[in-house]
């Protein structure tokens, strides 16, 4: 596969970054993962907005606009002869001396990974499992989609390699937080619940999109700090992320749910599929 590295399209095997890159040395880097549907990068503007905000937070002097990014993505699609793809847009701080740096990073490394995906189809049901390690708190005021993933890796080790299991974090106080690589929702008597950003979770782009869809459907939505035993009352539970979209959960530990048969998750997925080949931003919903 061809990938993009600092203005060049190269084979994956040829890609290298310097050992003094502070993304490697100190974890100063950010990434966005998103899906391309038949050539269209879904909700790209929202992903770029979050990325650019994070770059400012990390003092990395770089920003990306739609035109530049679409051009690079289209070139990668063409060179790899694919239309449906997983994209990871990665920005690493760039070179620095040994030691922590307070000055801005002015020459970051931009790396774009691509992987072919099959054309999007129906939903894939999973089982949820509460992990024992608590969700760590963000490094700053809010969680960035950064290179700091060891908490996620420890949780993944708990559940193992089974891709049909979605590990679910609680905060150290015992509140439901998020999946290892997803946000979490559940339905009780027609009300849609999701953990608040106060829990320290990532404000996922698909999370934001689903909340907007639910609002347009007229659903009552509650965000807050919710204990684990609240899941015992739920009829539907589902997770979201930009690659797996909307993921029905049929069980979390001893609690059983409707899974793929859930009425609200089915409607949300149908609406998701309608918009996935055309929208650039959540703001475009409803005109």
Select the CATH number that applies to the domain covering 126-284 from these four: 3.90.180.10, 3.30.390.10, 3.40.50.300, 3.20.10.10: 3.20.10.10
Beta bridge partners of 247: 239
Angle at 185 between CA 179 and CA 189, to 5 degrees: 150
Compute CA distances 50 → 96, 173, 278, whole Å: 25, 28, 20
Q: What does residue 26 show for φ and ψ, rounded to 5 degrees?
A: -130, 10
pLDDT digits 0-9 by tens, 38-67: 999 999 999 999 999 999 999 999 999 999
Pick from 232, 214, 222: nearest CA to 282? 214
DSSP code, position 56:
H
Q: What average pLDDT does this structure show over 164-180?
A: 98
pLDDT digits 0-9 by tens, 235-280: 999 999 999 999 999 999 999 999 999 999 999 999 999 999 999 9
Distance CA 51, CA 89 (A): 9
286: confidence class by pLDDT, cuts 50, 70, 90: confident
Distance CA 209, CA 178 (A): 16
Count of H helices and E strands in the chain?
Answer: 6, 15
Q: Which residue has the tokens 């608040």?
A: 196
Distance CA 26, CA 12 (A): 24
Class level of CATH domain 2-116: alpha beta
pLDDT digits 0-9 by tens, 175-214: 999 999 999 999 999 999 999 999 999 999 999 999 999 9
Q: Which two tokens stand for residue 272?
A: 């998701």
Q: What average pLDDT does this structure show over 66-86?
A: 98
List CB contacts of 238: < 8 A, sequence separation 6 or more. 184, 185, 186, 246, 247, 248, 249, 262, 265, 268
- For the chain, residues classed under CATH 3.30.470.10 are 2-116
229: confidence class by pLDDT, cuts 50, 70, 90: very high
Which SS3 state, helix, strand or coil, does residue 285 take?
A: coil
Q: Helix 44-57 crosses helix 205-216 at what angle (to 10 degrees)? A: 130
Mean of the per-residue pLDDT values for the chain?
97
**b/e burial code for range 62-98 (CB count within 10 A of at least 16 → b):** bebeeeebeebbeebbeebebebbebebbbbbbbbee
pLDDT at 287: 59
Q: What average pLDDT does this structure show over 95-100?
A: 96
pLDDT at 170: 98
Direct distance between the N- and C-terminal alpha carbons of the chain, in angstroms, rounded to an integer: 37
Q: What predicted TM-score, i.e. pTM, was given to this entire model? A: 0.97
**b/e burial code for range 12-37 (CB count within 10 A of at least 16 → b):** eeeeebeeebbbbbebbbbbbbbbbb
pLDDT digits 0-9 by tens, 238-248: 999 999 999 99
Query: Quick check: 156 pLDDT over 70?
Result: yes
Beta bridge partners of 179: 168
């Amino acid at each position: 596969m061809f990938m993009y590295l600092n203005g060049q399209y190269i084979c994956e095997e040829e890609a290298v970054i310097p050992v003094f890159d502070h993304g490697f040395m100190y974890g100063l880097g950010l990434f966005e993962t998103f899906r391309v549907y038949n050539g269209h990068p879904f909700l790209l503007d929202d992903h770029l907005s979050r990325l650019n905000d994070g770059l400012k937070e990390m003092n990395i002097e770089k920003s990306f606009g739609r035109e530049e990014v679409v051009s690079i993505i289209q070139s990668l699609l063409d060179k790899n002869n694919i239309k449906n793809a997983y994209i990871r847009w990665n920005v690493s701080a760039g070179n620095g001396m040994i030691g922590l740096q307070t000055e801005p990073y002015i020459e970051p490394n931009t790396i774009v990974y691509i992987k072919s995906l099959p054309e999007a189809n129906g939903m894939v049901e999973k089982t949820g499992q509460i992990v024992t390690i608590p969700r760590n708190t963000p490094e700053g005021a809010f969680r960035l989609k950064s290179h700091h993933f060891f908490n996620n890796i420890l949780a993944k080790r708990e559940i193992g390699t089974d891709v049909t299991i979605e590990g679910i974090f609680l905060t150290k106080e015992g509140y439901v937080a998020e999946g290892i690589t997803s946000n979490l929702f559940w339905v009780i008597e027609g009300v849609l619940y999701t953990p608040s950003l106060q829990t320290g979770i990532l404000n996922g782009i698909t999370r934001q999109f689903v909340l907007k869809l639910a609002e347009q459907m007229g659903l009552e939505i509650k965000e807050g700090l919710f204990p684990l035993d609240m899941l015992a009352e739920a009829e539907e539970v589902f997770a979201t992320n930009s690659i797996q979209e909307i993921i029905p959960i049929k069980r979390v530990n001893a609690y059983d749910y409707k899974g793929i048969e859930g009425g609200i998750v089915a409607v949300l997925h149908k609406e998701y599929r309608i918009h996935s080949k055309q929208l650039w931003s959540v703001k475009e919903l409803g005109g």
